[in-house]
């Protein structure tokens, strides 16, 4: 029997978050065959014991090394049996109804490459999770205090697409990779996530490659999921941000790789006015 959906969760030292995530997710009663896959990025935490004891039907994959977001999720995608894949970070809380609506959207729109719901805080306020493709100023305004300057605020307003109703549905350049769904064949055709990104910007790269294949990226603002996300890598001091903040250094490394990879290539044409 054909399996419809594979839900993929990547763990790196987030065993407790995944435990509480699975308490609801594990018992969703879909009208189609589905599976849950948890990949562990060599965390050395209790995730395997938790799954064996409390969630025995969950498929568990243990990586010998920490492969980062792209490499770890690729392990899950390659093992997935479902025609569609749903990637969830451990800090995502999504209802059965939202998953069903996302799946229905993809089935009704088979030429769409990737979809993502509106991510909200616990207090129901909307997070900024859909973006335009950025220019060279991206790390300056996104990761340092320069984003609070007049020119920085103007740049960020455009980058964050602040001029539309984020509770509506529309095509966007790219989305945050915390929660997204796609046809597995589509991701296979573009050769999965680029494992050269350890963390950050693999989602932007993925969406750009989809657009290059005429596969649209959609932000589904009418469907929501809770994201228990805490932004921890921004610092007002540019020297501190770039040289002493580990997450900022990783982000900057990903940005340099992205620039090198796409140097001289035109941005995909159709999404939003630049």
Residue-wise pLDDT for 19-52, tens only, equals: 999 999 999 999 999 999 999 999 999 999 999 9
Q: What is the mean pLDDT of the chain?
A: 91
Which tokens in the block code for residue 158? 């455009």
Domain end among 90, 106, 140: 90
Domain end among 90, 105, 121: 90
Q: Are residues 23 and 105 in the same domain?
A: no
Which tokens in the block code for residue 106? 């993809």
Q: Are residues 122 and 247 in the same domain?
A: yes
pLDDT tens-digit series, residues 236-263 = 444 445 555 677 788 889 999 999 999 9
- What is the mean predicted confidence (pLDDT) over 3-28? 97
User: Residue 1: pLDDT band by 50, 70, 90 thresholds?
Assistant: low
- What is the mean predicted confidence (pLDDT) over 223-231? 87
Q: Are residues 273 and 141 in the same domain?
A: yes
Domain end among 44, 66, 90: 90
| Under 8 Å between Cβ of 64 and 52 | no
pLDDT of residue 140: 74
Q: Are residues 143 and 237 in the same domain?
A: yes
Q: Are residues 100 and 6 in the same domain?
A: no
Residue 130, φ and ψ in degrees, nearest 5: -130, 145
pLDDT of residue 233: 44
User: Residue 231: pLDDT band by 50, 70, 90 thresholds?
Assistant: low
pLDDT tens-digit series, residues 90-131 = 999 999 999 999 999 999 999 999 999 999 999 999 999 999
Residue range of the domain that includes 108: 92-274
Q: Which of 26-35, 151-160, 172-181, 243-252 has the lowest mean pLDDT?
A: 243-252
Q: Are residues 80 and 121 in the same domain?
A: no
Residue 32, φ and ψ in degrees, nearest 5: -145, 165
Q: Are residues 186 and 171 in the same domain?
A: yes
Q: Record the pTM.
A: 0.92
Q: For residue 197, how far is the Cα from the chain centroid? A: 13
């Amino acid at each position: 029997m054909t399996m419809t959906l594979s839900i993929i969760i990547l763990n790196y030292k987030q065993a407790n978050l995944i435990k509480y995530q699975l308490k609801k997710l594990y018992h969703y009663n879909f009208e189609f065959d589905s599976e849950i896959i948890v990949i562990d990025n060599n965390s050395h935490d209790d995730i395997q014991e938790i799954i064996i004891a409390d969630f025995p039907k969950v498929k568990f994959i243990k990586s010998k090394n920490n492969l980062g977001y792209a490499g770890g999720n690729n392990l899950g995608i390659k093992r997935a049996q479902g025609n569609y894949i749903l990637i969830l970070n451990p800090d995502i809380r999504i209802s059965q109804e939202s998953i069903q609506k996302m799946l229905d959207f993809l089935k009704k729109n088979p030429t769409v490459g990737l979809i993502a719901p509106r991510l909200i805080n616990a207090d129901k306020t909307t997070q900024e999770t859909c973006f335009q493709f950025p220019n060279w100023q991206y790390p300056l305004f996104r990761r340092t205090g320069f984003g609070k300057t007049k020119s920085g605020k103007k740049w960020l307003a455009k980058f964050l697409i602040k001029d539309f109703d984020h509770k509506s549905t529309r095509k966007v350049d790219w989305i945050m990779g915390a929660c997204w769904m796609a046809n597995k064949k589509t991701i296979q055709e573009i050769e999965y996530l680029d494992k050269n990104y350890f963390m950050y910007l693999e989602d932007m790269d993925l969406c750009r490659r989809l657009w290059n294949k005429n596969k649209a990226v959609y932000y589904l603002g009418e469907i929501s999921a809770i994201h228990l996300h805490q932004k921890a890598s921004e610092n007002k001091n540019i020297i501190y941000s770039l040289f002493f903040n580990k997450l900022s250094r990783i982000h900057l490394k990903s940005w340099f790789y992205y620039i090198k990879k796409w140097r001289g290539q035109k941005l995909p044409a159709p999404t939003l006015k630049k």
